[in-house]
């Protein structure tokens, strides 16, 4: 990973607009901004609120083999600078997704990355096979790290489990694969390396941190499941550290996730080594904010006379330099 900007990348003031395109293995995105799974439905629900031409892609709500009702309410709780959720992968299932949701999503002027989840390796393999020839599916994000379903972290909290599902899915599909990793491990770099060595084209991190909140008047948990996934600005410094760790360990692209709400937030992740970022909880506050983040990155590049996001990726200047 580069640790300094390339001075040869500078362009004269008034030159061409910076290039925001990025590559995640064989997948090309128009900008480094994606909308994170679980925060934008299947994409088309945000028509009229999001300028999809400024978004590199959307990551759909996680799809499972069979429909899921999700966890019982209450399953969302606001916390300082963030939120806890325990949705439990509520979704329509792969059959309805392919017939009703994906055809509408693929009409959007952006890339559609389909998030898939399962309890077994066989679940992931079957879903990947079903998506391989589905019109509009540009890539697959393997949700290996949902903390809100039974066994949801089993495949991502050790390198062997991650390697098994990635390698099996890699054999089952030619679509680009993104492995979404949990931060709820001792060394996320080990899991990222396992994903890369097993055929992932990119890794995305972090999924939510496990958290909890209590209603002190009722003396009850604020979530029916007691604990849930913490997201939002509160987790950004921790997420940034995990992305930095992973980016130093692998050569495949890293997608940064965690509390990104502004262009400055996104640029921090790019400097830490991310190739792209996903915007999640911020979509609930300002659904159209992702386009503004993309524009803010472009403005930053112009201000620093740089050609593209590649010129800042991994450009963190360490104190020893």
Which pLDDT tens digit goes with each residue over 243-280?
999 999 999 999 999 999 999 999 999 999 999 999 99
Per-residue pLDDT band for 12 (boundaries 50, 70, 90) equals very low
For residue 157, the model assigns a pLDDT of 79
Nearest to 59 by CA among 111, 133, 127, 132: 111
Number of domains the chain is built from: 1
- Half-sphere exposure (Cβ direction) of 233: Cα atoms closer than 13 Å: 9
Per-residue pLDDT band for 173 (boundaries 50, 70, 90) equals very high
Q: Is 236 among the domain residues?
A: yes
Q: Is 2 among the domain residues?
A: no
Rounded CA-CA distance 36/275 in Å is: 15
Per-residue pLDDT band for 2 (boundaries 50, 70, 90) equals very low
Q: Is 89 among the domain residues?
A: yes
Detail the DSSP E strand segments found in 158-306: 177-180, 202-205, 209-212, 214-215, 220-221, 227-231, 254-257, 276-279
Known catalytic residue at 146: yes
Please work out, in degrees rounded to the nearest 5, the angle formed at the alpha carbon of residue 59 by the alpha carbons of 184 and 254.
Answer: 55
Q: Is 319 among the domain residues?
A: no
Catalytic-role residue among 146, 155, 192, 271 = 146
Q: CATH number, domain at 176?
A: 3.20.20.70
Q: Is 321 among the domain residues?
A: no
Q: Is 320 among the domain residues?
A: no
- Indicate the pTM of the whole model: 0.94
Q: Is 194 among the domain residues?
A: yes
* Residues shown for the chain: 321
- The residue among 148 and 47 whose pLDDT is bigger is 47
Q: Is 260 among the domain residues?
A: yes
Rounded CA-CA distance 85/208 in Å is: 9
CB atoms within 10 A of CB 271: 18
Domain membership of residue 151 as a residue range: 7-311
Category of 162 on φ-ψ map: left (φ > 0), alpha (ψ -120 to 50) or beta: alpha
Rounded CA-CA distance 259/232 in Å is: 4
């Amino acid at each position: 990973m580069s640790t300094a900007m390339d001075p040869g990348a500078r362009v004269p003031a008034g030159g061409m607009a910076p290039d925001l395109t990025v590559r995640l293995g064989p997948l090309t995105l128009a900008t480094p901004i994606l909308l994170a799974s679980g925060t934008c439905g299947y994409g088309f629900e945000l028509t009229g609120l999001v300028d999809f031409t400024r978004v590199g892609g959307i990551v759909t709500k996680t799809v499972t083999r069979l429909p899921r009702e999700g966890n019982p309410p209450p399953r969302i709780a606001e916390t300082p600078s963030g939120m806890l959720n325990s949705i439990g992968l509520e979704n329509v299932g792969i059959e309805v997704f392919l017939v009703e949701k994906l055809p509408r999503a693929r009409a959007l002027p952006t890339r559609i990355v389909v998030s898939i989840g399962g309890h077994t390796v066989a679940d992931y393999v079957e879903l990947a096979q079903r998506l391989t020839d589905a019109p509009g599916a540009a890539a697959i994000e393997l949700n290996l790290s949902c903390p809100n379903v039974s066994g949801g972290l089993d495949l991502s909290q050790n390198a062997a489990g991650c390697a098994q599902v990635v390698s099996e899915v890699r054999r089952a599909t030619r679509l680009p694969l993104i492995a979404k990793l949990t931060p709820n491990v001792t060394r996320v770099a080990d899991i990222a390396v396992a994903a890369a060595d097993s055929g992932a084209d990119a890794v995305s991190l972090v999924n939510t941190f496990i958290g909890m909140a209590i209603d002190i008047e009722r003396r009850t948990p604020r979530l029916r499941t007691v604990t849930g996934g913490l997201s939002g600005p509160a987790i950004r410094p921790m997420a940034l550290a995990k992305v930095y760790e992973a980016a130093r360990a692998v050569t495949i692209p890293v997608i940064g996730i965690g509390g990104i709400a502004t262009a400055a937030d996104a640029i921090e992740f790019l400097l830490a080594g991310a190739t792209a970022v996903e915007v999640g909880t911020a979509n609930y506050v300002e659904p159209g904010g992702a386009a503004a983040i993309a524009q803010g990155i472009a403005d930053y590049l112009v201000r620093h006379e740089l050609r593209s996001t590649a010129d800042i990726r991994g450009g963190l200047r360490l104190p020893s330099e």
